[in-house]
Amino acid sequence: MAMLEVKDLQVYYGVIQALKGISFHVNQGEVIALIGANGAGKTTTLQTLTGILSPKSGSIVFEGKDLTRTPAHKIVEMGMAHVPEGRRVFADMSVYENLLLGAYTRKDKAEIAESLASVYKRFPRLEERKGQRAGTLSGGEQQMLAMGRALMSRPRIILMDEPSMGLSPIFVNEIFDIIREVSESGTTVLLVEQNAKKALSIADRAYVLETGSITMDGKAEDLLNDEAVQKAYLGE
């Protein structure tokens, strides 16, 4: 059984239909990429999965539980974390305070301290800057902070929205290395990414979204070598 099963999801913004009955699944341990042009519905998909938007119809089943009408904070408790587009760190709070907020659904202090230590190990730069205001970090460091904060909830699956957006090439490589590590340490990853080439290079499978519909899906390496995908998304 798939860890996450999305069936016939329809989402509207007012009268405009943003998602036109999409269906896809994510198996435990996979890295799944959702690729597509701007406005294809990628962010809408993640926001619907995490309870920020409500679907008009369709279903979202996560580990056997129907999430379709579950409030966002409950979804985090169930093991789904979201790294939103544009990072959204709390600029006036310290790096450390931002990270602690990621653990707000957890009660055990010793376990929270353990998670903090593991986030610092994965992101040494965050430990160096733990007392610094988050707003003073570079874009790449803020992205690391947003990812670290999501990992503090100890998610079973992490949803990432455009993690490489606006970052320098060196940070893009670093962020993708971290995504691979997160996956290898046992967290399932659903990745929405403008940089299709990078996304397909680390994903197991991928879905192509076009104006609210899934038009193609398959193994990531097959899509990397697909002529239509190369033309539309890989700039070749």
Q: So what's the pLDDT on residue 94?
A: 97
* Mean pLDDT of the 104-114 span: 87
Entry pTM: 0.92
Query: Can you tell me the distance from the alpha carbon of 90 to that of 146, in angstroms, rounded to the nearest whole number?
Result: 10
* Mean pLDDT of the 137-164 span: 93
Domain 4-233: assigned CATH number = 3.40.50.300
What are the extents of the domains in the chain? Answer: 4-233
**pLDDT of 174-233, one tens digit each?**
999 999 999 999 999 999 998 999 999 999 999 999 999 999 999 999 999 999 898 888
pLDDT beyond 90 at 96: yes
Residue type, 84: P
HSE toward the beta carbon, residue 36, CA cutoff 13 A:
24
Query: Can you tell me the distance from the alpha carbon of 153 to that of 73, in angstroms, rounded to the nearest whole number?
Result: 11
For 97, residues 6+ apart whose C-beta sits below 8 A from its C-beta are 90
Neighbours of 177 (CB within 10 A): 11
Q: So what's the pLDDT on residue 160?
A: 95
pLDDT beyond 80 at 236: no
Beta strands in 100-187 (DSSP E): 157-161
pLDDT beyond 80 at 92: yes
Query: Can you tell me the distance from the alpha carbon of 76 to that of 71, in angstroms, rounded to the nearest whole number?
Result: 9
- pLDDT band (50, 70, 90) for residue 134: very high
Q: So what's the pLDDT on residue 170?
A: 87
Query: What is the share, in percent, of the chain residues with pLDDT greater than 90?
Result: 76
Tokens 């299709």, residue located: 196
* Mean pLDDT of the 96-100 span: 95
**pLDDT of 34-82, one tens digit each?**
999 888 999 999 999 999 999 999 999 999 999 988 888 889 889 999 9
